[in-house]
Structure formats: C-alpha cells, structure tokens
Amino acid sequence: MTASTDLTLTTNRRIKVAESDELADGKSKIIHLEGRSLALFRINNEYYAIANHCLHRGGPLGEGEVSGHEVTCPWHGWKFNLVDGSFSMVPTLKVKTFKVSETPEGVFIEE
C-alpha cells in the first residue's frame, strides 16, 4: 500500500487591473476578470476591490455612490463597507473583497 497525502497548493496570483495613475481619487472602475466582475475603488489614495454584485439582486456596486468607505448599491440602496465587504444592516453578510496592491507598474488584485 502506498501512503499518500492530500496537498492543497495555494497559488498567489497578482493580476494587473489598472495603471497606477488611472483612477482619480474617489472614482471606481469595473473589471471583468475570468468570468467575474469586480469593482475597484480609490479612496483617499487607497485602493479597495469588492465583487461587483450586490447581495440583494446583483446590482453593480462599482456604479454606486461612495461616501467615506461605504458604497451604496445604485439599484435599491443597500450599503456595503469597502474594507471588509460587510452589509450595513447585517454586517455578517459580506460581498467578497480582494487584496489590492499598488506599485509604480500598476494596481494589482491579489488572490
């Protein structure tokens, strides 16, 4: 009998999603990536990325109005925190967030 071990390989990928000077402060950009839709925001010169699908009915969060670190879904007004993806009324409900880094070469999503 041969011993075996199940290994889970974790691959960290960096995917360029914007040029470093592409987004003005307070602006957002919708990114289509391998069949997914993400929303990238620049707030106070920090970047945040979340899934571009509202938990209510899939509204495009990247088109929502931003106030502080909160985006309001343009369809029916649900609000989500851009730092942790939490829904304002039920913070345990969260949209997916993505780690973002910026270098002189651009802005990258890491997963």
Cβ-contact 41, 66 below 8 angstroms: yes
Residue 51's alpha-carbon distances to 5, 35, 41, in angstroms, are 34, 12, 11
Residue 54, interface with ligand FES (CB under 6 A)? yes
Q: Which is nearer to ligand FES, 76 or 99 (CB)?
A: 76
Residues 28, 61: Cα–Cα separation, whole Å: 10
What residues pair up with 32 in beta bridges, in sequence order? 37
Q: Does 31 bind ligand FES (CB under 6 A)?
A: no
Is 57 a binder of ligand FES (CB under 6 A)?
yes
Span of 22-30, 55-63, 86-94, 96-104 interacting with ligand FES by CB under 6 A: 55-63
Binding site for ligand FES (CB under 6 A): 54, 56-59, 73, 75-78
